[in-house]
Chains A and B, each alone.
Chain A
Amino acid sequence: MDEFIRVENLTKIYERGEVLALDDISFTVKRGEFLVLLGLSGSGKSTLLRCINRLIEPTAGTITFDGEDVTKASSRQLRHLRRRMAMIFQQFNLVRRSSVLTNTISGRLGYMNPAASAIHKFTKQDIDDAIACLERVGIPEQAYKRADELSGGQQQRVGIARALMQKPDLLMADEPVSALDPATSHSIMQYLELMNQEDGVTVLTSLHFLSLARRYGTRILALKDGKIVFEGTPAEIDAAKFKEIYGEEAQEVEVR
């Protein structure tokens, strides 16, 4: 397996409040990996993910994505890189008043003819693809409903369909199941696993629960106060490591 993403000396300081969110982080991700980011709220997981596609501008350090320097990319180059990195979110981040189909198709905006996309005119191909993506996540019958009519689990599936629409090389997921109940969580995680195994998409996801990380991750990266405190396979996390990541008072909670 070859090297896919290289993060070197990544630092992020939020100007206001002068918070050090990421403190000189370096790691690499291999192609085809299912990498799980662990850590408490505020440990820097979300910031790290958003630095990779530069939704947040890093303060210092470099990020190389498939041989290209993300941090130095022009806005045009950045858009082209972002087309290859899909992202799904804790709060799903769908446009609530738009239809499920429009939300799904918006994954393809970076490729569309600008004039046609301005008046919401989609090609037959795009619509067929979107329906196919919705079929893959099991909700083709919801295509013409408004996004906010769907349940949380269904909304996250639309989020995944939007990501599928991009035909990405990398899928980043920021706490994809934190807003969902345990049963739905597993079905969402299984879609991520499917993308990872069938489409060969590299997955980078942050999770709260160690049990989910153990079940789905091929490798784990744990953050604490903006620093990497653990890097290794799920099996290597024992009770001592757990306490190091989550603090002395933490108890492991299982999601079944």
Chain B
Amino acid sequence: MKSARRHSPWVRLAELRPRIFAFLLDWASWGYIAYAIMYLLNKYWYVRHVNFYGRLTLPSWGWPLVILVTLELALLTHAFGQTIGLSLFGLRLLGPDLRRIPMRQRLHRYLGLHVKLLLQPIALFIDRPLGTLLHDGKQTGTMRLFAKVKDDMPLERPRNWWLTYRGLFTTALLGMTFWLGWKITAVNLGMLVERIGKSGHIWRDLFTPQFTYLTANVIDGRTFSIAHYMMETIFMAFFATITGAIVAFPLSFLGARNIMGFSAVGWLIYTVMRFVFNIFRSIESILMAVMFAVWVGFGNPFAGALALFLHTIAALGKLYSEQVESVDPGPLEAIAATGAKRWQVVAYGVIPQIIPSYLAFTLYRWDINIRMATVIALVGGGGIGTLLFYFKNEVGRLENAWNLVGSVIVAIVVVVWLLDYISARVREKIG
């Protein structure tokens, strides 16, 4: 006897993933609106009229209330309109004939949800069409993946965006975000104009740089020169890029799905590699330099090089492995078919395909490292920044401190621009 095909609850849950994410996103967007309302209430009412030094906070019953109200709004908008979440995950609420369902049925859907939502986990264990929930039906419509049904859908002229719920909601959300951002970042255009005189002389000095220390010179018994520190910067960036690229090269294969994704162990290594890349990439090299400056000495270019090196491995590792993943699979198939070993397929099929983009990415990374190396001295990473911040700290003691800062900035701009230009031209040639 052949039984009907049964799906496990996990498969059913996986099929519901877009619907779940869409709902969570919409719920979160209402949560964001709740936060914005609280913030603006604070700014415009509480701090001004009630207690200048205080802060409006939710009472203990406020949190459940907010959760309940936002949940209710999310359910409501889900039943009545095409929300942002539904659009992003490609879902449409459609009737059995793949047409929009009328308002009356939408109301049924919304009310029915309150009962059926709680029973929803049961749906995972009942044999019903994949990707449907209990409140889906002929009357109340079903969320369909637009991509799957669009060819069968009857032709309907889409409404203008300013007449749709989605368009209006998005506009309102963007407008509110702008308002909130203005308040949170304390934008104050009046102050900008009012106090223009305070920084005026700095601008004047910066634009009349004095290249007193372009080559070797001595202040306080120490040798200073822009040229010396510039060399340090360039080589710090260069060394970090080269060593980082050498380490990232083999690691990039471990972080590529099409090389590793054939076994459980391979998949595990792939996941770990990608995780490590992402973690190290998200720590800016200037933060790593803080640690290395303590480790190998404040102001030591080695500290900066180490920080850039680590960040380069992660950044290039990720870029490289994406390149490995995007190679043409045809030649790999052909080489595997001749009876070659897996690593021979990599050596003869993958590497020739990725070399040009590897070179381009490495040059691009060098650009970034140069720019980073100019400021890494802020936390003791060495390089030209050492001089920049030294002169800046001399303001008050040295008459022409800002002019000297200006000379360093000019030097940085010239060198960065020049190297940028060269690497861009070289990348063009390779590409």
Q: Provide the residues of chain A in CB contact with B356, threshold 8 Å.
A: 97
Query: A89, B333: Cβ atoms under 8 Å?
Result: yes
> Known contacts A95-B353, A97-B353, A98-B352; is A106 also within 8 Å of B340 by CB?
yes
Q: Provide the residues of chain A in CB contact with B328, threshold 8 Å.
A: 96
Query: B347, A118: Cβ atoms under 8 Å?
Result: yes
Q: Which of A84, A93, A111 has the most chain B CB atoms inside 10 A of its CB? A: A93
Which parts of B342-376 form the interface with A (CB within 8 Å)?
343-344, 347-349, 352-353, 355-356
A214 to B349, CA, bound (A): 36
Query: B334, A87: Cβ atoms under 8 Å?
Result: yes
Say whether B339 faces chain A, with CB atoms less than 8 Å apart.
yes
Say whether A30 faces chain B, with CB atoms less than 8 Å apart.
no
Say whether A219 faces chain B, with CB atoms less than 8 Å apart.
no
Contact pattern, B 321-344, Cβ under 8 Å of A = 1, otherwise 0: 000000010110111111111011
Which parts of A61-96 form the interface with B (CB within 8 Å)?
79-87, 89, 91-96
Contact pattern, A 98-118, Cβ under 8 Å of B = 1, otherwise 0: 100010001111110010011
B340 closest partner in A (C-beta)? A109
Q: Provide the residues of chain A in CB contact with B344, threshold 8 Å.
A: 109, 114, 117-118
> Known contacts A53-B337, A83-B339; is A89 also within 8 Å of B330 by CB?
yes
Query: A79, B340: Cβ atoms under 8 Å?
Result: yes
Q: Provide the residues of chain A in CB contact with B330, threshold 8 Å.
A: 89, 91-93
Say whether A206 faces chain B, with CB atoms less than 8 Å apart.
no
Q: Provide the residues of chain B in CB contact with A253, threshold 8 Å.
A: none
> Known contacts A89-B333, A109-B344; is A95 also within 8 Å of B338 by CB?
no
> Known contacts A102-B348, A118-B347; is A86 also within 8 Å of B338 by CB?
yes
Query: B337, A82: Cβ atoms under 8 Å?
Result: yes
Q: Provide the residues of chain A in CB contact with B341, threshold 8 Å.
A: 79, 109-110, 114
Query: A55, B336: Cβ atoms under 8 Å?
Result: yes
> Known contacts A106-B348, A117-B344; is A93 also within 8 Å of B338 by CB?
no
A106 to B340, CA, bound (A): 8
> Known contacts A97-B352, A97-B353; is A87 also within 8 Å of B339 by CB?
no
- Which residues of chain B have a CB within 8 Å of any CB of chain A? 328, 330-331, 333-341, 343-344, 347-349, 352-353, 355-356
9 interchain residue pairs of minimum CB distance: A110-B339, A83-B339, A82-B339, A93-B334, A93-B330, A109-B340, A87-B337, A95-B331, A79-B339
Q: What would 7 more interface pairs be, CB under 8 Å, given A81-B339, A109-B340?
A: A83-B339, A86-B338, A93-B330, A95-B331, A95-B335, A97-B355, A118-B343
